[in-house]
Structure 1
Amino acid sequence: MLTLHLADRSPEAAVLVDGASIAAVGPYEELAAAEPRARVRRWPGILTPGLLNPYGPELLEATYHPDPREADVLGTEPIVGARAREIFRADPARLGASARRGVQRMLAHGTVAVAGELRSRAAVDAVRRAGLAMGQRPDRLPGPPVLSPTPLILLPRLVPGGPARFAVFDVADRAELVRRGAGTCVATVIGGRLVYRGR
């Protein structure tokens, strides 16, 4: 099934998706006229190729992402350092569940690829199941491991025949995205599937 994704602040960069691939990229009016039966998904903001988060190992293997049912004891924010290591030592099975929740948090920040050498089977499986691509880790990391690194690392532009992997951010333009960060994500698409929807 064909799906046409349109972000209101970037109508010239609409994306027509056919299965897991991009069929076309271009002005919304042209794509809609060429494929009038395509399902249309309208989003606020801008559509981008999505983000590479360079902190795969740090966020998925060295950080504990609490289960919402643990909020009364552990809170809701990611736990790092000695406390995270203590949680994983006490119950190694928690690593897999934490990695899956970490991947979900990444998707909610427009991440479509991660970088860094993942050593645990649990983290590798969580990344693979979500369909996240593995990218090249930059020589210099942008700062401490966070879900919205500064500067944001955008993947190369979207092209016909390429993978349908992109994100939509509720901002006016890329400058505002850089200023406000990846927490403005409203949708993430991987393999043509909507894997995160903020609203």
Structure 2
Amino acid sequence: MLTVHAADLLITGDRRPPVPGGAVLVEGREIAAVGRYEELVAAHPTARVRRWPGLLTPGLVNVHGPELLERAYHPDPREADELGTEPIAGAALAALAMTDARWGASARRGVQRMLAHGTVAVAGSLWRPGAVDAVYRAGLTVEERFEDPPGPPTLDPLAGRSLAEAILLPFPPDGVRGIDATFAVFDVPDEAVLAERGAVSCVATVVKGRLVYRRR
């Protein structure tokens, strides 16, 4: 099935200029074309259309993979009254009775929170089976990390990094096929406002053609 994902502005992720009214044509798990919405729909009139507000960009990499998924606990919503909603690490984590099952559930919640920030890949070596499984099942990739990331661990892949630095891969140029349909949409008008508001403005994340997160 063909699906057109359209937004107010498309960022290519490389030196090509932004595309007003840009869109991505998805076929299965791959990107079939990138261009203006009107042109893609005219060429593929039977494609399903998903229209999003704001900025459509390639997916992002969170450089704090191990810190967020293996060294922090993401509380269950039912624990919010006792533990809050933010990841727990350090001395506070040491006070929790962490079992393999609890680590696995935490990693699954952590991955879902990453998807809600436009994250499609994590950087760093993962060793806990629960974390590896959570990442694999969500379709995220694991990237090599050559140095420790600056700043404290954060779910926002844009914290302390520009959009260009956080993008996993740019959208393919015309005629290139075989690239996974992996991207995100942010409810902001342009890149400057995205830098100001951060990835918390994410409204949708697509991984290998699957809509894995949609803000309700």
TM-score normalised over the length of structure 2: 0.87
CA RMSD after TM alignment: 1.5
CA gap of 1:19–1:85, structure 2 versus 1, over 3 A, is farther
CA distance in 2, matches of 1:167, 1:115: 18
CA distance in 2, matches of 1:13, 1:163: 18
1:93 aligns to 2:62 (yes or no): no
CA distance in 2, matches of 1:134, 1:195: 17
CA distance in 2, matches of 1:151, 1:65: 23
* 78-87 vs 185-194, greater mean Cα deviation: 78-87
Equivalent residue, structure 2, for 1:59: 68
* 25-34 vs 70-79, greater mean Cα deviation: 70-79
CA distance in 2, matches of 1:113, 1:107: 9
Equivalent residue, structure 2, for 1:81: 90
Q: Percent identity?
A: 64
* SS in structure 2 of the partner of residue 98 of structure 1: helix
Alignment of 1:1-199 (within 5 A): 1-10=1-10, 11-89=20-98, 91-137=99-145, 139=147, 141-148=149-156, 149-152=159-162, 153-159=166-172, 160-199=177-216
Deviation at 1:197, TM superposition (A): 0.3
CA distance in 2, matches of 1:46, 1:96: 33
Q: Is the 8 A contact 1:88 1:95 kept in 2?
A: no
* SS in structure 1 of the partner of residue 96 of structure 2: helix
Q: Is the 8 A contact 2:7 2:21 kept in 1?
A: no
Q: Is the 8 A contact 1:96 1:123 kept in 2?
A: yes
Deviation at 1:82, TM superposition (A): 2.0
Q: Is the 8 A contact 1:142 1:151 kept in 2?
A: no
CA distance in 2, matches of 1:55, 1:78: 13
CA distance in 2, matches of 1:18, 1:134: 24
Q: Which amino acid aligns with 1:47?
A: L
Q: Is the 8 A contact 1:17 1:24 kept in 2?
A: yes
Q: Which amino acid aligns with 1:154?
A: I
Deviation at 1:85, TM superposition (A): 3.3
**Structure 1 stretches of 5 or more lacking a match?**
none
Q: Which amino acid aligns with 2:149?
A: L
CA distances 1:13-44 after superposition (whole Å, capped 9, x unpaired)? 31000111111111111110110010000001
Number of corresponding residues: 198
* 101-110 vs 22-31, greater mean Cα deviation: 22-31
Deviation at 1:88, TM superposition (A): 4.8
CA distances 1:140-169 after superposition (whole Å, capped 9, x unpaired)? 523111011321412221124200100000
TM-score normalised over the length of structure 1: 0.94
Equivalent residue, structure 1, for 2:16: none
CA distance in 1, matches of 2:152, 2:131: 20
**Structure 2 stretches of 5 or more lacking a match?**
11-19
Q: Is the 8 A contact 2:8 2:21 kept in 1?
A: no
CA distance in 2, matches of 1:12, 1:141: 35
Q: Is the 8 A contact 2:118 2:199 kept in 1?
A: yes
